[in-house]
Structure 1
């Protein structure tokens, strides 16, 4: 759309790569599908500027690379038709080229933002609530919890009674206030922070049971608990073990529910997704090594690691087949999956390497910088940046991307990510 808006001629708009299996021409553009549905492309004329006068392929160690650039320029020139002289991509102002190359990532961001809006305002986000899901009879030392888990021996002599049980709280109760502060349904993290801060102090608590409000008192027990970050998640130490602190504990769990959020929360949620994906991209080489190790060994897959389109499809299929999960929850998961996929594509395509959109944007910005410096120092205009010279690097990147795709598809077949146990 921006290419046509800026009068660049667009010969092709294709979904997929390889041989064309169906197409139809409308106006000057051919729209169609190709055999390999692994992406798509928009072909624009004049992507590569012509070679400068006298620039030839030299018989040197780089001659092969220069020949690649010349072949690309020649193929680009063969697309030109009469009247195309001022409709070539490289002749556009830098800002117009940047807008064009941002078209794809911007659409991914728009789709992701809309779907995240639908997700959190229509379905809600899964959050721990102030409804009690379970109450422990005793307090088990943190270093013994894993050992006792599933053994059925429960409480032992000498284990202190859990404060929540001693106070009369039971599953299904809804905590409505703690130490005089009223609590809403989604205030579980607020409640947790207050419990941890009130160790050893008797605190007034009110709760709803069968529609009737009751009052009691509770004294959080000072014990070793996991250290939590700002989002309420456990913090790991440098060696990967769980960090602990002395904090108040009463011994109860929270019921998780989908809670709708206001539309004002959408930007923060989108930003959180973008930064999360960016962190994964920055750590991508190490994560791919981990995927390879998991695919060819007994090591488990990292559930937060990269997946291919096969992995995404598999997860979507597993979600759809969960008949014991409410339809609303399954639909919310699928919407979130597609939203996350679009945010991932937005971030990934902005990597400043050809053939990704970010590579073309980087080339245009580099050209603007060079020309700006030339104007400041009153030097000759250096002309457009010839990205054809970067084709060797482009082929290397494309080969690496292809290899990454093959590895992820193989791993998603033989060792899929397990998100649901």
Structure 2
């Protein structure tokens, strides 16, 4: 079978994907603000957005290798020769992808080391469109493994990507709380109601409804559960992840696995701590000790994390997010051309600013050393690009970014506003 060649530079695709990733989130957040329906919080929304940027960045870096591996398997080991232009092939690919997604998704809930990756998506305690892009940095490392059968079945990378984009679109559309009852659709499709069940921390709902577009796999394999009015959905996880920092959210369950591993006495138990269900505990380690006190909080008493913050502190995070977005766009657009020192410095700056915003939302006291680190990384990111970018542009970028960062720090420490007439500031503090 003839090998397929594709460009490994996805810069243009990235710039096309970025507004599709973040645009709907901020549009719906703005609509929510205008209507005062309080379905979106500033801390939760910006955390979803920064996690999504990290995921998109790692995907951008890894996708060339994933496509190369898929093409290699397709070209050398596919069992069938299919007409990639045939409607039948596309229909087979569509259904086969959904079947693979079901088992991929289920495995991510059933095996601890895979749950490290997938738990990021489930840590959201507001259920809205932002959750659909809240995915682990390393999602692509584990997600693509289950789709190897598609390459072996003779599905080309073009068809594979097309059906995967369809799946992603559907996944975005079902992350909301609007459609309450859809009993007829629930029999065949994964609906918003059924997916709300999947994101619940209630005992009745845990590990249910793994389907992508179709829910028939759950009905066939015993993981189907409808939403019950007698058991209101409580969103989130039972693990103790009381942070808005994207870095903390991405590594939190890895810390749980390490705790299980160190408390395990035998080699078998150490392997279980990695590969058994997330609910498994070694002898002598209680659920509260392993997961934190939040694990024992009844759903009826569970409250989403929401540290009290002033309007100016939240405004500082919005401004800092704009800097994060600019740094990310510049880094990804020039990723293959930048000097490696500047790439490294910009990467550190990006992740630090994401973490900075997160700890502000956590209510952590920010000291001057945090801002000094920000300024150092900003200057380092600029000067390591000298020779690639003109001195004037570098100087302007450093001055502008440093100024915005300092303004953010100043706003964070400014006294709270008591004006009741400013609707924007009032909304930010709610």
Larger-Rg structure: 1
TM-score range, shorter chain: under 0.3
Q: TM-score, normalised by structure 2?
A: 0.21
Q: More strand per residue: 1 or 2? A: 1
